[in-house]
Structure formats: structure tokens, C-alpha cells
A = this chain, B = another copy of it.
Amino acid sequence: MPELRKDPISRRWVIIATERAARPTDFKHEGIEVNDLDRCPFCEGREDRTPPEIYAVRAAGTAPNGKGWTVRVVSNKFPALRIEGSTQRTKVGLFTRMDGVGAHEVIIEATDHHTHLGLLPVEHVVQIIRAYLQRYRDLRGDARFEYALLFRNHGRTAGASLSHPHSQLIALPVVPKRVAEELDAAERHFGQHGVCIYCAILEQEQQGRDRLIFENEAFVALAPYASRFPFETLILPKRHEADFGALPPDQERLLAQALREMLHRLHICLDNPPYNFIIHTLPYRSEAKHAHHWHVEIMPRLTQVAGFEWGSGFYINPVVPEEAARYLREAIPAPMPVGPVSAGRPHGEVGDRMRDS
């Protein structure tokens, strides 16, 4: 019997196909194409092909916008939003518009075109986390911005148009719908129970343990009870904290470890799958520090989102979250591969037969 599970935060129901649960090897994906090495603007030595750097981790004595960096942040050359303009809203009859004001930055994570966040040494990932934090904190100073969304697209299926390892940051003059929904639910729960709903979930999951995947002193990684996607993962700080920007320096390495560990396990379990991850945090101007709890959502992109999902806002997940957690728990980290990253299994159908006839 398939099972319907409700996410208590988004109030979304997910259909979990418990009957013919898929295994990691059932998901054939396109692999991570690396076909743009010759024209990659993010490789070392091509710093003039990007807008000037905003932030960089550099070897002593090297000049900005030249070689010698480890992590480099630049403006997106084709930004979704522009930094100039006002946030004045205008009514167009029933509709509302404003200028597309915002910041759109790219965090180039390494000089190596072929690596990715799950394969880099933890010490390197610490540098990336510090770049996230520096940019996240800096953009808070622009009073026009209500939110800054950090995200990563890995692989063409996950929306990446360049294969060189990078994340992105988009600062917005409005609070994202998804974040507003989380915040509403968290405030409602706090109002009723006097406790942060994420803290309560963490406590429940640490007792049950069948959805836990990894933990260290400061972070827990788990498979959400109502996971939308096969092998979806949530990373939460153990101590209540609404604001990603408040990460204390002594937790930077622990976050880097948890993030790298989960991406590494996904890499092993699913043969370098396409994925997105996003960081959800308290909006810049929100006072609801008591209710929200910042977190990272990692979404492997192994199934298609189709009419049912678009029409309902619900999802069909062919992998039982407890099974996904078990696979990811048991994925023993292998030694770092030498040479180019696996390009994944050959092109084939995604495992979406459950959804269609």
C-alpha cells in the first residue's frame, strides 16, 4: 500500500511508493556533463572573463583578478536581478510590479573544473562556507534586500549551465514564498507549543534514529519524514538558531564537514547525481528568531516533476525515506578519487514510471 505523509511545516502531502521501493541503482541519470572546459570562464587564468571579484581566498602576494585563488566570488555576468533601482511597488490594476532589483553573485568554489563540493577536502569546503558567510552578511547591509538565497545547481538536469563547480547567491527585495510559508508554520507552531518546530523534529528524529544519516557536534543530517524527492536530505544545526549569518567561527568546520559528508555520500550512493541544494534562513528583517531554524535542503534530481506535482504541490517519491537514510548511512566514504570525476551512468530513462502509466 502506498502511503501519504504530511510535512508538518509546508503542510504538503507526499505519496511514498512503499510497495515497489526503488533502490539507488534504479535511478539512471544523464551524468554530469563536462563539455565546456575550453570556454569555461571560471577556470584559473581566465579571471578576465568574469566581472571583477568581490571576495576571494588568495595566496599571499597575489593580485585580485589574477591567478592564485582558491575560492572566488564575482557578480553573475548575466544576472537575474540588477543592483541599481528602487523597490517602489506599483499597482497595475490587480497586479503588482517593481524593478528587478537584487544582487546575483557566483561563488566559484575551486580552480579545478572537474571537482565538486562533495569531493573537496573539508578544509577547502570551510573556505567556501566562509565565502557564503561573508557575502550573506555583507548584503544584509543593503536596506533594500529582504532575503539572500544561497543555492547550488549540480548538473544540467539540476539547471546548471556551466559545469565548473560553483554556487550562487541571489539577494531579493522580497521574502521568498517558500521561506514565508516556513516562517508562518514555525510561528504558528511556536504560538501553540512554545517551542521551535525544527527543534521538536530534531528531538523526535534523534530518538527514532531511522531517518538519521549523519551527525557531528553541531549538525544533524536526516531524510525528512515527508521527503519530496528520492534521497532528499536536510541538514540542521543542533542548537536553535534562526540565522545562518550567526554561525559562530567554531562551527564553520563542522558545517563544512556535514555538507561535504552528505554530498560525498550522495556521490557514492547515486554515482555523482545531479542535485540542488539551498540554504533557508531567517529573512534579514524578521524578528522571529525564536521560531525559525536555519537549514540546508539537498535535493537530488532523479525524478521528473510533472503535471501531478505542478497541479497539486504534492510529490510522488518512489523511495521510502527510511530506506534512503539507510543507504546513505551505509555508504562508507571511499578514498578521494584521483583524476576526473565519474560522468555518471550512461544516458537513460529516469525512474519515473511510478508517476506515469
Contact = CB atoms under 8 A, between A and B. Distances in A.
Contact of A310 (B76, B168, B225, B299): B299
A356 interface: yes
> How many chain copies?
2
A6 B200 CA distance: 34
A3 B160 contact: no
A306 interface: yes
Nearest to A12: B177
Given A100-B3, A177-B11, A308 B355 contact: no
A179 B312 contact: yes
Interface of A: 1-8, 10-13, 15-18, 20, 42, 76-78, 80-82, 85, 92-101, 106, 149, 151-153, 156-162, 166, 168, 170, 172-174, 176-179, 181, 197, 200-201, 204, 208, 225-226, 276-280, 297, 299, 304-308, 310-314, 316, 349, 352-357
B4 A97 contact: yes
A310 to B, nearest CB: 5
A180 to B, nearest CB: 8
Nearest to A75: B357
A85 B278 CA distance: 37
A81 B310 contact: no
Given A151-B311, A176-B311, A357-B168, A201 B159 contact: no
Contact of A97 (B5, B181, B278): B5
Contacts of A76: 357
B307 A152 contact: yes
A294 to B, nearest CB: 12
Contact of A4 (B7, B12, B100, B201): B100
A152 B306 CA distance: 8
Contacts of A352: 159, 161
A12 B81 CA distance: 16
A177 B13 contact: yes
